[in-house]
């Protein structure tokens, strides 16, 4: 059996400022550093052999902090890949979310943020994000699990949302309502070719996610 831990980076300075971040490379806030430290302490007894993270510093720093507090891992490797980057918010990046809602209307901004297949101007939809994250999961993360390795994926709200959709078999209609908190680990088990549903994270929906299992692709 091997373990898969997914975590969204700790709060960034633009999360704190309520700005669309996307691919903009911003640092963790003080709160974000504390969230990463808390996650690191909670995961300190879990063996992690491989860390997968994005090209963005907030995810990389979160992983670095977590691993600095890990007491059960030695000689782990880290893989960096842009395919784990946050959804690209295009022309919205850097804009304040509340001010953008005032300018374009709350309903339009909600569509840009929470629809599956509608992209913001010059940006990516969640569907487009999944077109890069799911192949990465199948090509890079799954083989590590099949090899019996403990895996930590430190990434972003939408890149993780698309991966969760894939491994849990959640529909595109339902996945858009899944909230993934900053700095909150999601823990899965991989055994006999199957990935268990999340054990540490509770969804706001009524789905029972602690008992179902999904057959992974080889």
pLDDT digits (tens, 9 = 90+) for 26-61: 999 999 999 999 999 999 999 999 999 999 999 999
User: Is the per-residue pLDDT at 133 higher than 60?
Assistant: yes
User: Is the per-residue pLDDT at 203 higher than 80?
Assistant: no
Query: What's the confidence (pLDDT) of residue 186?
Result: 95
- Which residue of the set 35, 52, 86, 124 is catalytic? 86
**C-alpha dist (Å) from residue 205 to 1, 174, 179:** 28, 9, 10
For domain 2-215, give the fold. Answer: Rossmann fold (3.40.50)
3-state secondary structure of 61: helix
Query: What's the confidence (pLDDT) of residue 74?
Result: 85
pLDDT average, residue stretch 106-133: 96
Global pTM reads 0.90
d(CA 50, CA 52): 7
pLDDT (tens digit, 9 = 90+) per residue, 152-195?
999 999 999 999 999 999 999 999 999 999 999 999 999 988 99
Residue 9 among the catalytic residues = yes
Query: What's the confidence (pLDDT) of residue 107?
Result: 95
- Which residue of the set 9, 52, 156, 166 is catalytic? 9
pLDDT band, very low/low/confident/very high, at 199 (cuts 50, 70, 90): low
The number of C-alpha atoms within 13 Å of 150 and in the hemisphere containing its C-beta is 15
Query: Among the residues of 93-189, which ranges form H helices?
Result: 97-104, 106-114, 126-136, 142-146, 157-168, 172-175
- Take residue 163 and report the two structure tokens written for it: 């991966």
């Amino acid at each position: 059996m091997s373990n898969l831990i997914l975590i969204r980076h700790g709060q960034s300075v633009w999360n704190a400022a309520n700005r669309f971040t996307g691919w903009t490379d911003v640092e963790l806030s003080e709160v974000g550093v504390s969230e990463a430290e808390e996650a690191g302490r909670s995961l300190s007894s879990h063996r992690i052999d491989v860390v997968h993270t994005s090209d963005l510093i907030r995810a990389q720093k979160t992983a670095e902090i977590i691993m600095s507090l890990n007491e059960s891992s030695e000689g782990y490797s880290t893989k960096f890949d842009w395919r784990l980057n946050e959804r690209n918010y295009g022309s919205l990046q850097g804009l304040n979310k509340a001010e953008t809602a005032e300018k374009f209307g709350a309903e339009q901004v909600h569509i840009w943020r929470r629809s599956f297949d509608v992209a913001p101007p010059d940006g990516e939809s969640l569907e487009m994000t999944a077109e890069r994250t799911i192949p990465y999961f199948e090509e890079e993360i799954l083989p590590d699990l099949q090899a019996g390795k403990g895996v930590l994926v430190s990434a972003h709200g939408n890149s993780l949302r698309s991966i969760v959709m894939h491994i849990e078999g959640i529909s595109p209609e339902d996945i858009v309502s899944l909230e993934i908190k900053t700095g909150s680990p999601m823990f899965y088990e991989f055994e006999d070719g199957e990935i268990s549903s999340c054990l540490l994270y509770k969804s706001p929906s009524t789905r029972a996610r602690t008992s179902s299992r999904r057959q992974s692709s080889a």
